[in-house]
Structure 1
């Protein structure tokens, strides 16, 4: 008798890259105007307030941290979102706050920390939803100028 192993989760690279490209286009609209390390910007959306801080700025990458500073449910911990922006590839992805620990593309199930099998895609999809929420509430207006290079 042969035992067949269940195939593990395999992430769709084109789908993931498309998501990261959309995140790049949207996150560029909420960056602080002074693109230097330490620059910050407050975003007020509905009754909530978020702070976007540039943690590191280099030639090809920028690391930002998005933190909810007002409007969080009392007693509920809202962790910051650390995002690395790759300007040369024009993609942005959520990274682990400890840059030595990466979010894996896929996890076996069950696992000790109870990550989803597609954890990396899920956290980047959340970033996309949050950025879309910002735009739908007027904090980041889409620029449809065809001469801007964004379209």
Structure 2
């Protein structure tokens, strides 16, 4: 597909609803690279690396899937998940977003004042921007589900 500059009128303003949808589209692309076939994953899987990445399927349907993504770290209080995100993948719309129900106890609001409501545009911007960067990091580290060759064995 070839795009010319004639088709680009303007970019959506930063932190607008339209630009948030663009971010969701990018998150979908990265999620598809990380999890090319969500059905092939099974219930849970670990991608081994310097820091292991854990994926758990929460819900599968023809149009959406919900997955939990996390790393586990050991500290003085035991094993903790960080970050611990629930990501909804919209297959038909080709979007992916962090759900407000994510266990973001360790997520820090970087804006001014008190953190906004989890359903607000500002909150969605912050956590989905974080997801975008984290997915790029995970892909750069070589993470993928299922790992290449894992499901290539004939039964």
TM-score range, shorter chain: 0.5 to 0.7
Change (3 A) 1:20 1:34: closer
What's 2:94 paired with? 90
Do the aligned residues in 1 keep the contact of 2:53 with 2:143 (CA within 8 Å)? no
Q: Distance in 1 between matches of 2:87 and 2:95?
A: 10
Change (3 A) 1:38 1:25: same
Q: State the number of aligned residues.
A: 118
Change (3 A) 1:95 1:75: farther
Shift, 1:36, TM fit: 6.6
- TM-score, normalisation: structure 2: 0.63
What's 1:66 paired with? 69
Higher percent of residues as helix = 2
Pick 1 or 2: higher relative contact order, CA cutoff 8 A, min separation 6.
Answer: 2
Q: Deviations over 1:84-111 (max 9, x none)?
A: 000110000000227xxxxxxxxxx755
Q: Distance in 2 between matches of 1:37 and 1:97?
A: 22
Gaps of 5+ in 1: 1-9, 99-108, 141-151
Alignment RMSD (CA, Å): 3.1
Q: Deviations over 1:10-48 (max 9, x none)?
A: 9412211111001101112222756179522212342x1
Q: Distance in 1 between matches of 2:36 and 2:30?
A: 13
